[in-house]
Amino acid sequence: MQTERLAQFSKFGKKIICIARNYLDHAKELGNAVPSEPVFFLKPTTAYLQPGAGAIKIPPGCSNLHFEVELGVVIGKPGSNIPESTALDFVGGYTLAIDMTARDLQEKAKKKGHPWSIAKGFDTSCPVGHFIAKDVIKDPSNVHLWLRVNEESQLRQDGNTSDMIFKIPTIISYISSFMTLEEGDLILTGTPSGVGPVKSGDVITAGLAELAEIKVPVE
């Protein structure tokens, strides 16, 4: 049964494709230009940190590790050159994901024009929640995304997918014009503002409205 197979998306290891700068406030907070078409990068599947599977491990040489809470879209069937009009048919479900980023290593790479592979793709850089069946999220372009550090009363990230610059159909259509999407691929749709650093001993709690919540320690 497809739902059972998709529920294992983070174990059968397909692509993790991440959209960058998809929220105006986040592009601004890091001083980045607002993109005129989607910008994306990849994480290896070894970046997955399964729910409850332990801690985020700070990569070597990183002293500024940032969290980025994001809505993850799990692809349900293969496709390439997918038109926007049918793109949502390729969505198999959703998940909550954190795009952990070694911000200092990313800044260094940006300055040199180097790829972001280490900054974004180190082991444990993609903590995920459980699979959320497609019909549970009726409107993926209106979902509350939030993130808290430790027991702080103030949320660090408190956004809504309604603020995405490029919506899910555009993202799927654009990616699939270059790369065939496969069942079990995960697309991270970008982070809202409020990204910031965590250190060893912190605990990140993040959620998608009341639909999903994950608690991940940093080590």
Ligand X SMILES: O=C([O-])CC(=O)C(=O)O
Per-residue buried b or exposed e for 195-215, using 16+ beta carbons within 10 Å of the residue's own CB: bbebeeebebbbbbeebbbbe
Near Mg ion by CB under 5 A: residue from 191, 192, 212, 216: 191
157 near ligand X, rule: CB under 6 A: no
Cβ closest to Mg ion, residue 18 vs residue 82: 18
Residue 21 binds ligand X, judged by CB under 6 A: yes
Q: Toward Mg ion, which CB reaches closer, 37 or 151?
A: 37
Q: Which does 93 bind (CB under 5 to 8 A by kind): ligand X, Mg ion, none?
A: none
Q: Which span (14-22, 147-155, 169-177, 179-187) binds ligand X, by CB under 6 A?
A: 14-22
Q: How many beta carbons lie within 10 A of that of residue 98, not counting itself?
A: 27
Taking the complex as a whole, how short is the minimal distance between the CB of residue 21 and ligand X, in angstroms? 5
Q: How far is the CB of 99 from ligand X (least distance, A)?
A: 5
Give the DSSP H/E element, type plus range, for residue 24: helix 24-29
**DSSP 8-state assignment for residue 33:** P
| Cα 73 from Cα 90, distance rounded (Å) | 10
**Taking Cα atoms as reference points, which of 130, 49, 133 lies closest to residue 91?**
133
Residue nearer to ligand X on the CB measure, 45 or 189: 189
Binding of Mg ion by 99 (CB under 5 A): yes
Query: Looking at the chain, which runs of residues are DSSP E strands?
Result: 16-20, 39-43, 48-49, 65-67, 69-75, 91-98, 101-102, 126-127, 132-133, 144-149, 157-160, 186-188, 196-198, 203-208, 212-217
For residue 185, state whether it binds ligand X (rule: CB under 6 A).
no
Binding of ligand X by 24 (CB under 6 A): no
Which of 129, 132, 137, 151 is CA-nearest to residue 214? 129
Under the binding rule (CB under 5 A), the answer on residue 68 touching Mg ion is: yes
Among 7, 17, 26, 43, binds ligand X (CB under 6 A): 26
Q: Is 73 in the site for ligand X (CB under 6 A)?
A: no
Q: What is the DSSP string of 148-163?
A: EETT-SS-SEEEEGGG
Nearer to ligand X, 90 or 116 (CB): 116
Is 20 a binding residue for ligand X by CB under 6 A? The answer is yes
Residues making contact with ligand X (CB under 6 A): 18, 20-22, 26, 30, 68, 99, 101, 106, 190-191
